[in-house]
Structure 1
C-alpha cells in the first residue's frame, strides 16, 4: 500500500509588508533573522504554575519507518562513500511520517498500515487543512473544512489503541495572513474538532497543535491563537520549529513562554523539531537549503525538562527545501552535509549484558594505539584547490572548498592550510575540522573522508565572520603547495 507521505511545509514568519513570492520556491522553509523580543521578555515569568509531569515517558521508543526516503537510499547505495555517515546519523533515527496527500478513500488503511506494524510510537504529521500555506508553494489539502473534518475522522480511525504522536497541521495557526477573521475562526474550530476526533478514536494518541517558532509570532499572540483552536480542551500541547533551524534553547524558552501565557495548564506540554537546528539558523536570513546547517539533538522523549515531551525529527533531514533540488526530494549531498556536521553519532540504546561469560578467549595482542601516518602528496603539482564564496551578507559569509588529488597516489589523511587576506574568522565547519590562529587556518579530515584517491577529490565548507574581504590565494596540502583553480 502506498503511504501518503508528502512534502513537509515551510514555516516562515510573516514579512512586513506582506511577503511576496520570493519567500517560497517549491516547498521551502522559512527562517527569521532573530529571536522574537517578546519571547525573551516572557522567559522570566515562568514561576506561575508548576510544570506538569511529562506527557510521554522518558523511555518511549519512537518508530523508525523502514520505507522512508533515506532508508531506501541507504539500501540502494551500499558502495557510496557518503552512506556510512548518512546511515549512522540519519537513517538510524525515527522521523515523522507525513500525511499531505488528500486520499479520503485510503487514509484509514494507510494509517493502520503504520500503526499496526510499528510496535513502537510513530510520529505522524497531518498536513491537509484547506488553504494550507496560504496558497503558497505547499498549497493544497482538503477541498473544504467539511471534507477535512471527515478526512480527519477517517485518519483517526486508523490509529488504533496504541500510543502515537500527532503533529497536527504545521503552519495552520501561526500562518493565517490569507484568511479573513471568519475564515480564521472557522479553521480554528475545525482544528479543535480534529483534536477531539483523534482523542475519541485513539485515547492514547498525543495531539500537538501548531506553535510556530521562536522568531515568528510573540508567545502571547501564539497562545491566544492556540486557545482559539481548542488547545485547552482537545490537544496535549504544541509543537515548534517544524522545518526550521532555530536553536533548541530558543525553542524551549519560547515554548515555555507560550505555555505560561496559556496559564501553564497541567495537561499541556511541547515538542520541538530538532532535525536541522544543530548549528542554529543561517546568517542573513537564508532559509532555502542553506549551507552550514547540521542535524540537531537526536529524537528522544528523554528531554530532562518536564515541560518538553520530546525532541523530534519532524522535517526529515536530507529532503530538499526546493533550491538544491525539487522540494521534498531526498538529496544525499544535503543529508551528508547535515550529518557530517553533527558532533557525534547517536548513542546506541542500552543493552543488558549476557549473564553467561563468553567462551572465546580475547586476543592477547592489544590493538595499535597510534593512528596510521598521513601520506603526503607526491612532489610537484599534486593537488589543486577550488575556493568559492557560497553566500555572503554584512559581516559574514559561507565558503565551499574542493580539494583534488592530481597526483598518482592516494592521500591518506589530509591537512589543508591557508591564510586569510583579511580579518576573517571561521565560526563553524562541515566535512572538516577547522582551527585558526590569527589569519592562518588549517582544515583536517574527519576520518571517514580522510582518503583522497589519485584523481579524486573531497569537499568541505565553513561559515565565518568578516570585516575585510578577499579570498585566499595559496594553499598547501600536507605541506605541499597546491594549484588554485
Structure 2
C-alpha cells in the first residue's frame, strides 16, 4: 500500500545486517481498529515478567562502545580531513548497539560482551533489538528471524546475556507502527510475541528497561499507536515507548507526541518514553524524504537529563553516519554522511531544543576541511573551463539505477576525472529522458528545472584529482529504468560508461 505524501521504499532491496530501521509514515490499514480490540484482549492473557522499573536515574552514564563503526573509522583515519569533526561530534557520544543478525548460537555471548564492558566502565548500555520476522515489511532492512517461534527462542537467548546490571532495550523498531505487510492474524501474533519478549527480558534481567515501538509524531495518531502498544503488552511487560528511531522529527514534536501516547494509555505512572535525537537537528526533510536525505544534522547529545519526568532519555539509537539503505547498504558507516550530519549540527547540541528551530543551523565546523576526503592532487587545481570544452572529454560518468519500484527509484552516479589536471569544484548536468523528479540526494546538492538536473559538490568533495573519482546518489519519483545518456562536467561533455 502506498503511504500518503511520500514515495514507498524499494521492496526488492537486499537484506544486509541493518543497524537502523526505515521508519516510514504508513497509512493504518482498515484492519487496525479491529485488531486493536482483539490485541487488547490478547494482551491480558500473557504472563507479565518482573515488575517494570521507574524512571532512569538523572545523570545515568550511557555506554560508549569502543568498537562501534564510527570509533573504528576514526582510529583508522587520523589524517582524513573529516576525522576531527566526526571524532568530536559523533564518535565521542554513546550510541545504541544493534542486534540485527540472526545468530542464535552466539547471541548470549554477544550480549554479555557488551553488558560486561559497560558494567566495567560503570555505564548503562543501549541495546537495539531488531530481529522480528518481516521487519521493515520487506524494505531496505528486510530480514529477521525465520518465524515467531524462532524469534521467541532468540529473545530468551538475548536476555540471558543481559546480567543483573542496568540496560536500556529498544525492542524492535518498526514492529508496532509499521504493519502494512501483515494480515490481521499476523499482526496479533506479532504483538503477542513482543509482549512475550518484554516478559522474557524482565524475567532474566529485572534491571533492564524495555521500550516498545512508538513510531513517531508524523505517523500514526497517538490514540492508534496507544491501542497497538496496549495490544503488544506495554502495560504489563514494558517500561515505556521509544519514538523517532531513524527519523528526523524535532525533539519538541516527539516529546509532545510521546506524552499524548502515554495519555491515551491512561498515564500509567510506571511508563515513560525515550526519543531518538541522533539526526533531528534540522528537523525532517521536505516532502517526507526518509532514506538518507541530505541537509540533516545531528541533534541533542544523548542524556538522561531531559528536564521532563515523562521522558527518560534522549538517545542516539540510529548511529549518525550509518546509511538507511539509499546512500549505501543499510547499516554501513559512510564518512561523507557522518561529516555532513556533524558539520550541520549545532556547535554544542548538549541542550535539547524546547521549540522547533526556525532556521536550520548554518554554523560551519570549527575546523573546516582543508583537503578533500580522497588523496589530494599532486598538481595545483585548475579553475573550471570558461571557454568551449575540448573535443576530447576529460570526464566519464557511470549512472546506475540501484533500486526501482512502482513510482520511484534510487540511483548512484560516479564521476571520474579522466583529464590531466584536478577538477576544483564540479557541476554535473544531465537531462532525464522521462518523468523523473529528484526528491532527495546525498553527497551532492541537486537542483532540477523541468527534466534538466544540476548536481554540485558539497565543498568537502569538490576536488577530484586527475585520474580520481567521486560519487553521489539520489532518490526520485517516476520511471527509474529510463536513464540519461548525456552528461556535462563544468561545460565539458563526458563519456558515459
Smaller-chain TM-score bracket: 0.5 to 0.7
* Pairing of 1:187-226 with structure 2 (within 5 A): 187-226=190-229
Question: In 2 relative to 1, CA 19–289 (structure 1 residues): closer, same or farther, beyond 3 Å?
Answer: closer
Question: 1:424 maps to what in 2?
Answer: none
Deviation at 1:274, TM superposition (A): 0.6
1:6-28 per-position Cα deviation (integer Å, ceiling 9, x unaligned):
xxxxxxx9715998554785567
Residue 95 (structure 1) aligned with residue 95 (structure 2): yes
Q: In the aligned structure 2, how far is the partner of 1:231 from the partner of 1:141? A: 22
SS in 2 for 1:257: helix
Deviation at 1:182, TM superposition (A): 1.7
Question: 2:85 maps to what in 1?
Answer: 85
SS in 2 for 1:287: coil
Structure 2 unaligned segments of length 5 or more: list them.
28-52, 352-380, 387-423, 425-442, 445-457, 471-489, 493-497
Question: In 2 relative to 1, CA 257–76 (structure 1 residues): closer, same or farther, beyond 3 Å?
Answer: same
SS in 2 for 1:311: strand
Match of 1:155 among 155, 158, 173: 158
1:359-418 per-position Cα deviation (integer Å, ceiling 9, x unaligned):
xxxxxxxxxxxxxxxxxxxxxx975599xxxxxxxxxxxxxxxxxxxxxxxx9xxxxxxx
Deviation at 1:137, TM superposition (A): 2.9
Contact 2:201 2:208 in 1 (8 A): yes
Match of 1:296 among 299, 302, 307: 299
Deviation at 1:343, TM superposition (A): 1.3
Q: In the aligned structure 1, how far is the partner of 2:110 from the partner of 2:242? A: 24
* Pairing of 1:29-428 with structure 2 (within 5 A): 29-30=22-23, 32=25, 55-118=55-118, 119=121, 120-345=123-348
Contact 1:209 1:239 in 2 (8 A): yes
TM-score (norm 1): 0.65
- How large is the RMSD of aligned CA atoms in angstroms? 4.4
Question: 1:49 maps to what in 2?
Answer: none
1:196-247 per-position Cα deviation (integer Å, ceiling 9, x unaligned):
1111111111000000011111000000000011100110000001111111
Q: In the aligned structure 1, how far is the partner of 2:219 from the partner of 2:338? A: 26
1:135-177 per-position Cα deviation (integer Å, ceiling 9, x unaligned):
3332221222122111111111110111100000111111112
Q: In the aligned structure 2, how far is the partner of 1:55 from the partner of 1:22? A: 39
Q: In the aligned structure 2, how far is the partner of 1:167 from the partner of 1:108? A: 17
Deviation at 1:57, TM superposition (A): 1.4
Contact 1:14 1:216 in 2 (8 A): no
Stretch deviating more after TM superposition (285-294 or 67-76): 285-294
SS in 1 for 2:294: coil
SS in 2 for 1:207: strand
* Larger Cα-atom Rg: 1
Contact 1:88 1:346 in 2 (8 A): no
The count of corresponding residues between Structure 1 and Structure 2 is 363
Question: In 2 relative to 1, CA 14–61 (structure 1 residues): closer, same or farther, beyond 3 Å?
Answer: farther
Deviation at 1:272, TM superposition (A): 0.5
Question: In 2 relative to 1, CA 283–19 (structure 1 residues): closer, same or farther, beyond 3 Å?
Answer: closer
Deviation at 1:327, TM superposition (A): 1.9
Question: 2:454 maps to what in 1?
Answer: none
Match of 2:3 among 15, 24, 35: 15
SS in 2 for 1:214: coil
Question: In 2 relative to 1, CA 454–220 (structure 1 residues): closer, same or farther, beyond 3 Å?
Answer: closer
SS in 2 for 1:191: helix
Deviation at 1:82, TM superposition (A): 0.3
Q: In the aligned structure 1, how far is the partner of 2:296 from the partner of 2:272? A: 27
Question: 2:362 maps to what in 1?
Answer: none
Deviation at 1:326, TM superposition (A): 2.0
Deviation at 1:81, TM superposition (A): 0.4
Structure 1 unaligned segments of length 5 or more: list them.
1-12, 35-52, 349-380, 387-410, 412-429, 432-444, 460-482
Question: In 2 relative to 1, CA 142–31 (structure 1 residues): closer, same or farther, beyond 3 Å?
Answer: closer
Q: In the aligned structure 1, how far is the partner of 2:278 from the partner of 2:317? A: 7
SS in 1 for 2:312: strand
Contact 2:281 2:298 in 1 (8 A): yes
Deviation at 1:32, TM superposition (A): 4.6
Contact 2:22 2:140 in 1 (8 A): no
TM-score (norm 2): 0.64
Contact 2:132 2:145 in 1 (8 A): yes
Q: In the aligned structure 1, how far is the partner of 2:11 from the partner of 2:254? A: 22
